[in-house]
Amino acid sequence: MEPTTSEPRIGDAFGRTLQRCWAAGMAPGAAFEITERDDGYISTADALRYFTPLDDLSDLDQTAVALARGRILDVGTGAGRHALALQQQGKDVVGLDPSPGAVEVACQRGVAAELGSIAHPPEGIGTFDTLLLLGNNLGLLQGAQAAPGVLRQLASLARPGALLIGTGMDPAGSDPDHAAYQDRNRIRGRMPGQIRMRVRGGAVATEWFDYLLLNPHELDRLIQPSPWRWETIHEQGPKYLAVLHLNPS
Ligand SMILES: C[S@@+](CC[C@H](N)C(=O)[O-])C[C@H]1O[C@@H](n2cnc3c(N)ncnc32)[C@H](O)[C@@H]1O
C-alpha cells in the first residue's frame, strides 16, 4: 500500500525563514523559526530576534561585542546581527554560515558573510583574533563526542592569543517535557542538554543535527583537554557568556 505520509524535503529551512523575515521588512510575526526535537517537541519563535539591532542586544551580547578585538569571525552568523553591531563599532568582522539563505540575507544587510562551516571553512578565509559563538552557538559543540574536534577546528582558525567568546544556556529547569528529554539523554549516554533537532519551514526541513545546551561546569569539562582556557565568565540566570583564550603551548 502507498504510504499516506511523507517526510519533509531536505533544504535550507532556517535560511528560508530568515529570508521571509527580511523580505517582509522585518515585520513582527512575518516569519517564525520552527524547531522540532526528536521526541516530537515543537517550538516556535519570531525570526525577528535574529535581526536585533545593536542597542537592543542583550547585556551578554553587548559585552561580547565590546570584548571582541582584532580580526573577528562570527561563527554561525545567521542574519548577521552581531557582525553588524561589530561593524558599527568600526570592528573588522567576517561572518561564516553553512546556510545559503542566511549568508544571502547577511550579505544584503552589509555583512562580509561567507558560506562554510566550522568543519569546512571557505578556502583562504585565514585566521582570526576573536572567534564568536553567539546566539547560544556554544550549541555548535554538539556533545561530548564531537566537542573536542569542534574546539580543535576552531583553534585552527585562531591566531596566537585569540579569544573564543560564546553564549550558552544551562538546560536545567522545571519544564517536565524538557526534564523527561534530559533523563532520556542520560540513559542513552548523551549529555542532558544534547538536543537532536531540525528546523522546519513549509514542506522543507534541515537535516537532523545535535545542538548542545550546557552549564558552565559541563563546558569546563569539555574545554579541559582542548587548546582553549578560561579567561572569564559572565552569568545572567541560566544564560552565560564564556570568554576563553587560546592556550599558548
Ligand atoms: C541559533 S542560530 C544563531 C545565529 C546568530 N549567531 C544569531 O545569534 O543571530 C545558529 C546559526 O549557526 C549556523 N550553523 C549551524 N551549523 C554550523 C556550523 N557547523 N558552522 C557554522 N555555523 C553553523 C546556522 O546556520 C545558524 O545560522
According to DSSP, the β-strands at 239-246 and 228-236 are antiparallel
User: Residue 182, class by beta-carbon neighbours within 10 Å (0-12 exposed, 13-18 middle, 19+ buried)?
Assistant: buried
pLDDT for the residue numbered 35: 98
Pocket of ligand 1 (CB under 6 A): 14, 50, 75-78, 81, 96-99, 102, 117-118, 134-137, 140
Of 124, 68, 109, 115, the closest CA to residue 95 belongs to 115
Q: For Cα atoms 114, 72, 133, give the angle at the middle one, nearest 5 degrees.
A: 80
Of 137, 129, 68, 144, the closest CA to residue 102 belongs to 137
CATH of domain 58-192+208-246: 3.40.50.150
* Ligand 1 centre distance from Cα of residue 198 (Å): 13
* Ligand 1 centre distance from Cα of residue 121 (Å): 13
Which amino acid is residue 158, in one-letter code?
Answer: A
For ligand 1, pick from 34, 46, 56, 97 the residue to mutate: most ligand atoms within 8 Å of CB: 97
pLDDT for the residue numbered 244: 98
Atom of ligand 1 nearest to the CA of 209: 16
pLDDT digit string, tens, across residues 108-118: 999 999 999 99
pLDDT digit string, tens, across residues 37-67: 999 999 999 999 999 999 999 999 999 999 9
* Ligand 1 centre distance from Cα of residue 4 (Å): 34
Secondary structure, 3-state, 58-118: CHHHHHHHHHCCCEEEEECCCCCHHHHHHHHCCCEEEEEECCHHHHHHHHHCCCCEEECCC
C-alpha to C-alpha distances, 125 to 22, 31, 153, 239, nearest whole angstrom: 27, 32, 13, 31
* Ligand 1 centre distance from Cα of residue 94 (Å): 14
- Cell numbers linked to 2: 502507498
* Ligand 1 centre distance from Cα of residue 25 (Å): 22
pLDDT for the residue numbered 31: 98
For ligand 1, pick from 93, 104, 140 the residue to mutate: most ligand atoms within 8 Å of CB: 140
pLDDT for the residue numbered 174: 76
pLDDT for the residue numbered 6: 86
> Which residues are 114's β-sheet partners?
96
- Contact between 5 and 20 under an 8 Å Cβ cutoff? The reply is no
Mark the ranges of the chain whose per-residue pLDDT is less than 50: none
Residues near 149 by beta carbon (within 8 Å), at least 6 away in sequence: 119
pLDDT for the residue numbered 84: 98
Calpha distance 220→228 (Å, rounded): 10
Q: What is the DSSP string of 125-188?
A: ---EEEEEE-SSGGGGG-STTTHHHHHHHHHHTEEEEEEEEEEEE----S-HHHHHHHHHHHHT
At residue 222, the 3 state secondary structure works out as helix
Which amino acid is residue 189, in one-letter code?
Answer: G
* Ligand 1 centre distance from Cα of residue 172 (Å): 23
pLDDT for the residue numbered 53: 97
User: Residue 64, class by beta-carbon neighbours within 10 Å (0-12 exposed, 13-18 middle, 19+ buried)?
Assistant: buried
Give domain limits for the chain. 58-192+208-246
